[in-house]
Amino acid sequence: MIDILKYSLLGLLVLIFQWMLGDVFSIFGVTPSFLVIFIILVGLTRSQVMAIWLGFILGFIIDALTSTSLLGITALALSVVGYLAGIFQDRIVRIPIPVQYLLHTGFLLVFFILTVMISLQNSQWSAGDIVFLVLMPKTLYTLGVLSAIFVLLRVGAE
């Protein structure tokens, strides 16, 4: 119970950080998603169910605060990512590092495909533009931030 409260509070702080300071990290208009990193972290190290529901609630709140098109899409995407990350809970340390990176990339791609592709469905942009100018930069940038955070957490734990 304490764990749930602790991670809910931490999730809210990450959400506020994303909402208020996310743009500080913007490079050429590409902003990383700290929320998805947090959900992946919860899924991999805590509980799959917690990751699903934290993803749903935090996703709904960020949608309510920012979404101009589909309310609920981030909730859906974060729940799915929470579930996927939870499959590898506690097993991730036994997986070779390159495969870990591939898994993280997969989680991020699932999240950004769901949020970016659907939010841009009416934008008249070509699929190629969406993939190469939005989806890939966002995924790679968030993967970079995720790797840095995971390294810091590992060093901190040691």
Which of residues 102 and 123 has its CB atom nearest to another protein in the complex?
Answer: 123
User: CA triplet 57, 65, 55: central angle to 5 degrees?
Assistant: 20
HEC assignment per residue over 104-151? HHHHHHHHHHHHHHHHCCCCCCCHHHHHHHHHHHHHHHHHHHHHHHHH
Q: Which of 9, 13, 70, 127 binds another protein (CB under 8 A)?
A: 70
Q: Which of 45, 100, 109, 137 binds another protein (CB under 8 A)?
A: 137
Q: Minimum CB separation from another protein for residue 20, in Å? A: 7
Could you give the dihedral angle defined by the CA atoms of residues 119, 137, 101 and 42, in that order, rounded to the nearest 10 degrees?
Answer: -40
DSSP single-letter state for residue 68: S
Which of residues 109 and 133 has its CB atom nearest to another protein in the complex?
Answer: 133
Residues that bind another protein (CB under 8 A): 16, 19-20, 22-23, 26, 29-31, 48-49, 52-53, 55-56, 59-61, 64-73, 75-76, 79-80, 82-83, 86, 115-116, 119-120, 122-125, 129-130, 133-134, 137-138
